[in-house]
């Protein structure tokens, strides 16, 4: 397995383990208009974090963004500072729905 294969595997595992959260994320995404710009924090604000129950369960947020990016549903258009206190103002991707 190469790095890309491992990343794909990790994405699948994170979303399978949090399938209810992943379904909620899909419903939120479907309601967005084409051209809407958003960050992972917007998704979290709308439906919450995946929650507890497994180690690294919040990895599902990044996995969902990766899934949408790889299937051509979104495109990264830049970066902005995170606003959640736990994110410590790090740079996060700004996405656009295609």
Domains in the chain with CATH codes: 3-97 (1.10.10)
How far is residue 37's CA from residue 94's CA, in Å, rounded to a whole number?
7
Kindly list the distances between the CA atom of residue 2 and the CA atoms of 8, 9, 13, 14, 56, in Å, as whole numbers in the listed order. Answer: 10, 11, 17, 18, 22
pTM for the model? 0.81
Dump pLDDT digits (tens) for 34-85: 999 999 999 999 999 987 666 667 888 999 999 999 999 999 999 999 998 8
Looking at residue 89, what is its pLDDT?
A: 92
Least trusted range by pLDDT, from 3-12, 71-80, 86-95: 3-12
Under the banding of pLDDT at 50, 70 and 90, the label for residue 14 is low
- CA-based Rg of the chain, rounded to a whole angstrom? 13
């Amino acid at each position: 397995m190469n790095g890309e294969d491992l990343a794909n595997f990790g994405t699948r595992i994170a979303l399978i383990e949090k399938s209810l959260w992943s379904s909620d994320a899909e419903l939120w995404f479907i309601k967005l208009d084409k051209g809407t710009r958003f960050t992972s924090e917007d998704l979290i604000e709308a439906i919450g974090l995946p929650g507890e129950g497994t180690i690294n369960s919040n990895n599902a947020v990044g996995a969902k963004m990766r899934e949408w990016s790889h299937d051509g549903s979104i495109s990264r258009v830049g970066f902005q500072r995170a606003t959640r206190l736990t994110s410590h103002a790090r740079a996060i991707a700004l996405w656009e729905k295609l």
